[in-house]
Structure 1
Amino acid sequence: MKIGSGSCSGTFGELVQGVIEERPFLITLPVKELKSSALFVPDQNAIDIVTVRGRQKARMACEKLLKTFGIKIGGCLHIHSNIPIGKGMASSSADMIAAVRAVSDSYSLPVTEELISRIAAEIEPTDGVMYEGVVAYDYLNGQLIEAFASLPPFTLIGFDVGGSVDTVEFNQQKKEYSKKHKKKFQQAYELVTEGIRSGNFAYLCEAATISARINQQLLPKQYFDELEQLAQRYSGGVVVAHSGTVAGILLDAQMPNIQMVSREIKQKLYSLNGTRVLQFS
């Protein structure tokens, strides 16, 4: 038993989210600059886990982990995160995963991604960021569908349209997808599969835009039309948080004029929204 540590990346929304063969799924878009880090200090004299207000989901995840292994010793859980809350950037998922990893490190527990996934999904609909790289993931049932390789180098420029979204409440709402939408989700899934396999970045951009466009009917993003026009102009794709408030443009980081294009897009997005523009790679 020792002081344990763990971490987990956040996301910028999702590459794709919808249903495939009637199964809810998302394809992750992890962002390394966004991270939740956890430190767990065990206390042999405690039976509960103590943490600050606002991190109760992470505490619950740790309690479920300890119960799974029959451990009745508590401790103090410290979490630091630069992931905005309620924006669709996997803040809660990253907190829970980082915390569970910290506790498992403390007790040297043989924790798998599958176990973390099950624990997180018992608390709320969760993102697949417990898995490395890009994955297709059933976010309601906490199950891995398929693991892909990492994305080709990318630049992502976007902004927060404002407000916040409660993930649990949003995912309790029934999503009505037409047959046309379901075919589009299948197409988007196949585009991601082939785009990552072949390194064809245009396929990834097309897949993201297909999904973002469908999501406009469920959770509309202000300035979506302008984003789509900019994406087309600069050979990019529109990326959104399907249950959050961020939206942006995905670009191939290897395009020859990427710095100039990034500068121009940032200027245009700032003139649209008047708020801080976000950039990730």
Structure 2
Amino acid sequence: MTLAPRPGRGTVRAVPASARMASGVCNGTLGELFQGPVAHRGKRAIGVISFPVDRYSWAYFTEGCGDAEPLPALQKASRGARLFLRRHGLRLPRGRWSRHTELNVGVGMASSTADIVATLRCLFQFFGMPYDQIEVIDILSRIERADSVFLDESALYLSDRHEVAERLGTSVGFHTCFVVEPGAVDTAGVTPLLLGHYTARGDAYRACLEGALAAFRAGDVVGVARAATTSAALSQEVLPKVTHDAVAANRRYFGADGVFVAHTGGVIGYLFADRLARKRMDELSAFFGELGYQCSFAWGGYGGA
């Protein structure tokens, strides 16, 4: 593939006819290891420590067939593409967008953010431009409250302010068993409810966050799992999961190091520092099956799988 050079601002340039396809990929999340109030630089914000998972969304642009100056079909991805093209004074030639995803929509797996980031990465590749994380954050800030899936490490991310408060490295990762409860959560719609809960339980959230950050800094996987369990229990007070009580009650029986949830979604599951034995996978599958759910297994976070 022949890639076009990056043009200067204010110019308009199409890619050469020899370019045929570009792609961008972005992982999603299994919710968060922490979500709650954060005091940062004298201001209050909503902080998340996202739990990235090895499930992905792809964006493809194929040149030479399809519509003139095409845009992705998904509304948020389309808006991200328009912002990118306008920022750089670019236009796309005739072509076709396509996508594939392994992420459930509306359940807390950061599917829309992953779609936007995959689209932007596709555009960076198509135009032969270096990936610019600051630009990605700026574009996301104009579209939605986002997770930190554009990073390649864990972080405390201020999702409402689109700011990385602290980078937490790549030493923490977990084997997981999880399910997705039915129904979608409107993140924007429940934000006032969450803010009230954060105020009422401020001390508990501060202690939870302090424990999570200390564990991340020390590379203490079990300590991170402990903090995630506390954060999940706090979330249960305001946006409850149907299966939470049963999952929490059986954590020790299954030898799990913690419980995690998508705080504004339907994902809930167990955290394991060590790889699961086959028999334990069978037992977990039966347990969640009795609760009426099909479970999945995945690697989440970073560190050695």
What TM-score do you get using the length of structure 2 for normalisation?
0.82
- Counterpart of 2:286 in structure 1 is 267
- Counterpart of 2:239 in structure 1 is 219
- Counterpart of 2:213 in structure 1 is 193
- Counterpart of 2:257 in structure 1 is 236
- Counterpart of 1:25 in structure 2 is 47
CA 1:235 to 1:179, structure 2 compared with 1: closer, same or farther past 3 Å? same
Q: What is the distance in 1 between the residues matched to 2:82 and 2:191?
A: 24
Q: Percent of pairs identical after alignment?
A: 26
Q: What is the distance in 1 between the residues matched to 2:171 and 2:97?
A: 33
CA 1:117 to 1:47, structure 2 compared with 1: closer, same or farther past 3 Å? farther
Q: What is the distance in 2 between the residues matched to 1:41 and 1:141?
A: 34
Instruction: Look up the equivalent residue of 1:17 and give its one-letter code.
Output: Q
Instruction: Look up the equivalent residue of 1:20 and give its one-letter code.
Output: V
1:50 paired to 2:71: yes
Q: SS state of the match for residue 276, structure 1?
A: coil
The structure with more radius of gyration: 2
Shift of 1:258: 4.4
Q: SS state of the match for residue 175, structure 2?
A: strand
1:62 paired to 2:94: no
User: Are the aligned partners of 2:110 and 2:147 in contact in 1 as well (CA < 8 Å)?
Assistant: yes
* 1:237-256 aligned within 5 A: 237-253=258-274
Shift of 1:27: 0.1
Shift of 1:232: 3.6
Q: What is the distance in 1 between the residues matched to 2:182 and 2:65?
A: 44
Q: SS state of the match for residue 238, structure 1?
A: strand
User: Are the aligned partners of 2:37 and 2:198 in contact in 1 as well (CA < 8 Å)?
Assistant: no
1:137 paired to 2:136: no
Output the aligned Cα RMSD.
2.4
Q: SS state of the match for residue 251, structure 2?
A: helix
1:73 paired to 2:95: no
* 1:1-20 aligned within 5 A: 1=15, 2=19, 3-20=21-38
1:115 paired to 2:135: yes
User: Are the aligned partners of 2:173 and 2:221 in contact in 1 as well (CA < 8 Å)?
Assistant: no
User: Are the aligned partners of 1:155 and 1:250 in contact in 2 as well (CA < 8 Å)?
Assistant: yes
Q: What is the distance in 1 between the residues matched to 2:267 and 2:89?
A: 40
Which range moves more in the overlay, 4-13 or 176-185?
Answer: 176-185
Q: What is the distance in 2 between the residues matched to 1:226 and 1:5?
A: 42
User: Are the aligned partners of 1:230 and 1:265 in contact in 2 as well (CA < 8 Å)?
Assistant: no
Q: SS state of the match for residue 90, structure 2?
A: coil
CA 1:226 to 1:277, structure 2 compared with 1: closer, same or farther past 3 Å? same
Q: What is the distance in 2 between the residues matched to 1:188 and 1:174?
A: 16
**Which of 156, 169, 181 is the equivalent residue of 2:189?**
169
**Which of 54, 58, 73 is the equivalent residue of 1:37?**
58
CA 1:226 to 1:45, structure 2 compared with 1: closer, same or farther past 3 Å? closer
State the number of aligned residues: 275
User: Are the aligned partners of 1:187 and 1:207 in contact in 2 as well (CA < 8 Å)?
Assistant: no
Shift of 1:153: 4.1
Which range moves more in the overlay, 88-97 or 193-202?
Answer: 193-202
What TM-score do you get using the length of structure 1 for normalisation?
0.88
Instruction: Look up the equivalent residue of 1:57 and give its one-letter code.
Output: K
User: Are the aligned partners of 2:197 and 2:238 in contact in 1 as well (CA < 8 Å)?
Assistant: no
Q: What is the distance in 2 between the residues matched to 1:227 and 1:206?
A: 14
Shift of 1:193: 2.6
Instruction: Look up the equivalent residue of 1:216 and give its one-letter code.
Output: Q
Instruction: Look up the equivalent residue of 1:269 and give its one-letter code.
Output: F
User: Are the aligned partners of 2:198 and 2:205 in contact in 1 as well (CA < 8 Å)?
Assistant: no
Structure with the bigger percentage of helix: 1
User: Are the aligned partners of 1:49 and 1:59 in contact in 2 as well (CA < 8 Å)?
Assistant: no
User: Are the aligned partners of 2:30 and 2:51 in contact in 1 as well (CA < 8 Å)?
Assistant: yes
CA 1:73 to 1:118, structure 2 compared with 1: closer, same or farther past 3 Å? same
Which range moves more in the overlay, 68-77 or 236-245?
Answer: 68-77
Q: SS state of the match for residue 177, structure 1?
A: helix
Q: SS state of the match for residue 126, structure 2?
A: helix
Question: Residue by residue, what CA displacement relative to the aligned partner does 1:39-80 show, whole Å, maximum 9, x if unpaired?
Answer: 12356997643333xx12111101111111121335532211
Question: Residue by residue, what CA displacement relative to the aligned partner does 1:71-125 show, whole Å, maximum 9, x if unpaired?
Answer: 1335532211110111100100100000000011111234422211221121111
